[in-house]
Amino acid sequence: MTPAKYKEYNDTELVTMCLRGDPQAWEALILRYKRLIYSIPVRFSFTTADASDVFQAVCLKMIEHLHELKDETKVSAWLITTTTRQCIYVRSQKFRESGSDEELEEPPDPSENVEHIRVQVEEQQTVRESVEQLPDRCRQLLELLYFDSRSPSYDDVSQVLGMPVASIGPTRARCLEKLRTVLRRRGIK
Amino acid sequence: MRHLSVENIMTYVDGYTLAAEKPQVEQHLHTCPDCSELRQDLHNLVTHLQQDTACEPPSDLVQWGIELFQPVMQPASGGRIRKIIAALVFDTFEQPALAGVRRVGAPPRQLLFRAGDVDVDVKIESMEANDRITLVGQVLSSGAKFFDNTPVKLESHGIVRYKTRTNLVGEFTFDEVPKDTYHLSVDLPEGQITLFCVHRANA
């Protein structure tokens, strides 16, 4: 498990630590961007298998290009571009494989959709990063309520956080208000 | 005007406001731009957060991504060997396909890695018939010096699967190995160079 301090490092610091061979920095990068990477094939309506292939290919590309990423101020922008290209590549491969052998036609131009996806994914990542900036209690609560794939019940959340069930609703409301304030500071309404 | 509390607005957004209180809350939201804006923002925020759950990759996939770094994570024996991650400087998969070119099967993938003044040229050829790949390469220095009899290892899932040595002109071959994600490392006097050199089924 990655130590909490790694969450505080920025992308450039994590990439530099990766290049020095620190596996926990790599783990922190993957955990920071796993949803961003996966969300793009999901938005392309890929199957789970294809989305997983894209995720793997992008992780490999990230390792291969670590030296270049050292100079990137925002790894997220590089990842969005790389993942989107990979999705377009996979889609065009699928199109070719499924097509007849007569003419190789390109799939419909996805550029309009791609721009829409890029905006959504960037916004989503900003929300995630803003959740990371919240006080621990709020961050843990929102992560359990919204990011945990097991969808824990209020009883489970109560046990994990040691918080009465009746307090979860009001605490969540206050945490969301704090999140709104952080997002406004970052220019997102 | 006294504003609604954020808890009351969230209860309304969730649809749990008591029927007896609902008209009063709605009346206030209708006349108070601040509370109405807060309600809209909270609604959007919850939608954003809920959408994010669908974007959670399977945990085994995340673990796979984390373990990609495994070979570098292993401590060098005796702590004396310097480990260097080579930079990928050229990859045919990054190049656009030539227009009008048709071929049967996947084209060979050619990669060039660089670590300091050492270049490692690698070609991966996929054999669809038996689901195997052949990997050939050459270790070169910028001074045209050849690295002969240099150990080269092919690892997957943190285990060394295949070993070979370079020939007189620094060439090496791994013939017809099963398709997998491999990490190639070259043991040079300057240190061990790790290449994240892989076969990608989808690329």
pLDDT (average), residues A70-75: 76
Chain B positions in Cβ-Cβ contact with residue A56 (cut-off 8 Å): 61, 64-65, 181, 200, 202
Instruction: Choose among B55, B73, B200: nearest Cβ to A60.
Output: B200
Quick check: A54 and B72 CB within 8 A?
A: no
Question: Which of A18, A31, A78, A146 is best to mutate for the B interface (most B CBs within 10 A)?
Answer: A146
> Hey, what are A8's tokens?
């505080």
A155, A83: one domain? no
A8, A51: one domain? yes
Summarised one tens digit per residue, pLDDT across range A5-26 is 887 888 889 988 888 778 889 9
Beta-carbon neighbour count of residue A136 at 10 Å? 8
The residue out of A92, A125, A158 marking a domain boundary is A125
Read off the CATH number of the domain in which A177 is found.
1.10.10
Would you say the ipTM is above 0.85? Answer: no
Which amino acid is residue A147, in one-letter code?
A: F
Domain residue ranges in chain B: 6-53, 62-195
Quick check: B91 and A176 CB within 8 A?
A: no
Q: Give pLDDT, residue B105.
A: 59
Summarised one tens digit per residue, pLDDT across range A34-56 is 989 999 998 888 888 889 989 98
Give the DSSP H/E element, type plus range, for residue B94.
Answer: none
Q: Of the candidates B91, B12, B86, which has an alpha carbon nearest to the alpha carbon of residue B46?
A: B12
Instruction: Choose among A34, A149, A179: nearest Cβ to B45.
Output: A179
CB contact B127 to A (< 8 Å): no
> Hey, what are B156's tokens?
């997957």
Which amino acid is residue B82, in one-letter code?
A: R
CB contact B61 to A (< 8 Å): yes
Domain count, chain A: 2
CA-CA-CA-CA dihedral for B73, B78, B82, B86, to nearest 10: -40
Question: Pairing mode, if any, of strands B159-165 and B87-91?
Answer: unpaired
Read off the CATH number of the domain in which A29 is found.
1.10.1740.10
Give the DSSP H/E element, type plus range, for residue A71.
Answer: none
CA-CA-CA-CA dihedral for B142, B143, B149, B151, to nearest 10: -30
A116, A153: one domain? no
CB contact B54 to A (< 8 Å): yes
Summarised one tens digit per residue, pLDDT across range A134-189 is 999 999 999 888 887 777 888 999 999 999 999 999 999 999 999 999 998 887 76
Q: Which of residues 132-161 of B touch A (CB under 8 A)?
A: none
Domain that holds residue A181: 134-189
User: Are the CB atoms for A38 and B56 separated by under 8 Å?
Assistant: yes
List the single residue in A with minimal CA-CA distance to B201: A53
What percentage of chain B exceeds 70 in pLDDT? Answer: 73
A88, A148: one domain? no
Q: Is B104 exposed, middle or buried (0-12, 13-18, 19+ CB in 10 A)?
A: exposed
Q: What CATH code is assigned to B62-195? A: 2.60.40.10
pLDDT bracket for residue B93 (50, 70, 90): low
A133 or A102: which carries more pLDDT confidence? A133
Given a cut of 90, whether residue A114 has pLDDT beyond it is no
Q: Give pLDDT, residue A140.
A: 92
A94, A166: one domain? no
